[in-house]
Amino acid sequence: MLKLSIDAMSGDLGSQIVVEACESFVKSHNDVELYVTGKKEELESLEKYSQIHIVDARDIVPMDAGIMSVRRKKDSSMVKAVTLANDGVVDGVVSCGSTGAFYTSAMLFLKRIEGVEKSCLMAELPTYNRKGVCMLDVGANAENTSQQLLDFAIMGHTYASSIKKISSPKVALLNIGTESKKGDLVHQETYQLLENDERINFVGNIEGRDILLGDVDVIVTDGLSGNIALKTCEGTASLVMKMVKEGMMASLKGKIGALLAKKDLYALKDQFDYKSVGGALMVGFEKAVVKAHGASDAKAFENAMNLAYQMVKMDVVNQMKEGLL
């Protein structure tokens, strides 16, 4: 049986959406045990499922928690979920709490893969060709060395190969131009490392304007640039949809057109809906660690659980270890 720990208390919408997600998840997965951490009285409806174990946790890690705050929150649902993984009770962890607090918890209470200098945050972005693209780091580190970026590339390559079943995934480096000498010294050094590494299919630099086209499968970047790029893409997609809606509602012809195109418009909205992915991966740790969106509803949280499930089932962590040798 695969085992996952689930932080039920740290998200913006409370424990109820996690309860709903867990109920739906166990109904479709008979090979998983869940260890759900949180206030027992809020999780009572899960007691009827033999696959679910409730771990009482009376505290909650706040969204603005720093390192010392996380250390002191030993009885929080987030820290208890991570500790279960560190103690070998479970194979993976899912939380929709603060990214900073969750990453800090993982750094404090989980082992990193041997040889990995820094773990990172990997997100899958929707693309024009519907294939999606994995981008890492998207915010765990403010800056990175060229060797760390090479590690990210290998871990991203392994994920795209194992989970997305892409043969020889195309790996690109986010930069300010496509030429090999573009960017600062770190990016130029990274370009050379990636180009000369036979473990990956490096296709060169990629500019920000091409991220969502889907021409590559993995984009490697430092955490600062990656976070800015990710939020720019999310904000642009949201703004475009808002402008389309307002434009169509501004006139009678537009409203008629919107009615006729309703199915296509919803399909476009769904194509760029974060809920279909569920969350981001914190890669570089000995366990599968999935950060669900803070405002996840039950559907989005269940998708995050599915992502952790697939990571464990496909043994992606051990494949990353082998790839980094």
Residue 222 clears pLDDT 90, i.e. is over it: yes
**Distances in whole angstroms, Cα of residue 140 to Cα of each of 201, 288, 322:** 24, 16, 23
pLDDT tier for residue 231 given thresholds of 50, 70 and 90: confident
For the ranges 33-37, 228-232, 236-240, 297-301, the maximum mean pLDDT occurs at: 33-37
Residue 315 exposed, middle or buried by CB count within 10 Å (0-12, 13-18, 19+): middle
Rounded Cα distance between 290 and 307, Å, is: 7
Q: What is the DSSP letter of 113?
A: P
- The residues, any chain, with a CB within 8 Å of residue 221's CB and separated by 6 or more, are 135, 136, 137, 138, 149, 173, 174, 229
pLDDT tier for residue 147 given thresholds of 50, 70 and 90: very high
**CA torsion through residues 73, 120, 4, 10, sign:** positive
Pair of tokens at residue 55:
């771990």
How large is the angle between the packed helices 99-109 and 77-86, nearest 10 degrees?
30
pLDDT in tens, 83-93: 999 999 999 99
Residue 270 clears pLDDT 70, i.e. is over it: no
Cβ neighbours of 125 (radius 10 Å)? 21
Mean pLDDT in residue range 186-203:
95
CATH superfamily of 1-116+284-325: Isopropylmalate Dehydrogenase (3.40.718.10)
pLDDT of residue 204: 96
- Between 65 and 200, the more confident residue is 200
Residue 277 clears pLDDT 60, i.e. is over it: no
pTM: 0.85
DSSP string across 224-269: HHHHHHHHHHHHHHHHHHHHHHHHHTTSHHHHHHHHHTHHHHHHHH
The order of strands in the sheet holding 288-292 is: 52-56, 32-38, 2-7, 92-95, 288-292, 279-283, 120-125, 133-136, 218-220, 170-174, 201-206
pLDDT in tens, 19-49: 999 999 999 999 999 999 999 999 999 999 9
Residue 11 clears pLDDT 70, i.e. is over it: yes
pLDDT in tens, 305-319: 999 999 899 888 888
Examine domains 1-116+284-325 and 122-275 and report if their fold is the same. Answer: yes
Q: Are strands 32-38 and 52-56 parallel, antiparallel or unpaired?
A: parallel
- Between 102 and 277, the more confident residue is 102
Residue with tokens 């501004």: 250
Domain boundaries, the chain: 1-116+284-325, 122-275
Residue with tokens 């889907």: 214
Domain 122-275, CATH number (from 2.30.38.10, 3.40.1350.10, 2.30.30.140, 3.40.718.10): 3.40.718.10
